[in-house]
Copies of this chain bind each other. A is one copy, B any other.
Amino acid sequence: MAFSSANVSERELQPPSLAISTVIFALRHDPDSGRPELWLPLVRRIRQPHRGKWALPGGPLASHESLQDAAGRNLSDTTGLAPRYLEQLYAFGGVDRAATQRLVSIVYWALVQPDEAHHARESENVRWFRADSLEPLAFDHNEIVDYALWRLRNKMAYGSIAYHFLGDRFTLAQVREVYEAVLGLELDPANFRRHLRAAPDIAPTEEFQQGGRHRPPRLYRYLGPQSPATAGTAANTPVGTPAPVNTGRNP
């Protein structure tokens, strides 16, 4: 790479470099409390700049793949998992993000299940960290993670996104634990239950979770995005959540 030795005037002439990075969130159960916590995988940089520091998984955009595909490749390369939820987060393009070159990063964020696959996949250069209390990362990746966290919490408060952390069947208590772990607050089980029962995108099954210590809870399943009509049909158009309208209207 000639970039790393470019001086300032050479840098002016180079077109901006474009990279795709991905913030991957998963829940891990704390062995002590049993409560789920937010974790994410990082990769150790093996070249300058920021060599040795931890960074978001990412890389350049291959000419044959879409932005979304590149982010999905980040995900499977570092975790071995297929994306359950993958969405564009933001394009970061500050002038001084990288010292040696002008770098624009299009960042995606993903949700995956807390499988045991993680542990097997961990290596010298890939490690999982708690999403809060991160050490200083390479580039501006701390800010990016913070923004992804904000977006995750925001989306959690609105939309039906929590299910992407969970498996095929789940109890209402598991959904509640996801909310509590991500938002960092305690929720009333009865009220939360009423809330979810009214949600159109999950449905009760006739199965019950056995083997627990107490009354067996009913299992539910996620029906997928319900009735968004057609949010984005074209291939390159992002999908979105339909907007509520709540202002006084006449018939």
CA–CA, A241 to B237, complex, Å?
23
Please pick, from B16, B154, B183, the residue contacting A63 in the complex, using a CB distance under 8 A: B16
Instruction: Show 5 A/B contacts (Cβ-Cβ < 8 Å), sorted by A.
Output: A66-B94, A66-B95, A67-B104, A154-B243, A157-B243
Is B106 a contact partner of A186 (Cβ separation < 8 A)? Answer: no
Instruction: Give the interface of A toward B (CB within 8 A).
Output: 11-18, 60-61, 63-67, 88, 90-95, 97, 102, 104, 106, 140, 143, 146-147, 150-151, 153-154, 157-158, 179, 183, 185-188, 190-192, 194-195, 231-232, 234-238, 240-241, 243-250
Chain copies in the assembled complex: 2
B-side contacts of A232, CB under 8 Å: 147
Is A188 a contact partner of B90 (Cβ separation < 8 A)? Answer: no
CA–CA, A236 to B144, complex, Å?
9
Is A234 a contact partner of B183 (Cβ separation < 8 A)? Answer: no
Is B95 a contact partner of A147 (Cβ separation < 8 A)? Answer: no
CA–CA, A140 to B238, complex, Å?
13
With contacts A188-B250, A248-B187 taken as known, whether A64 is within 8 angstroms of B12 at the C-beta atoms is yes
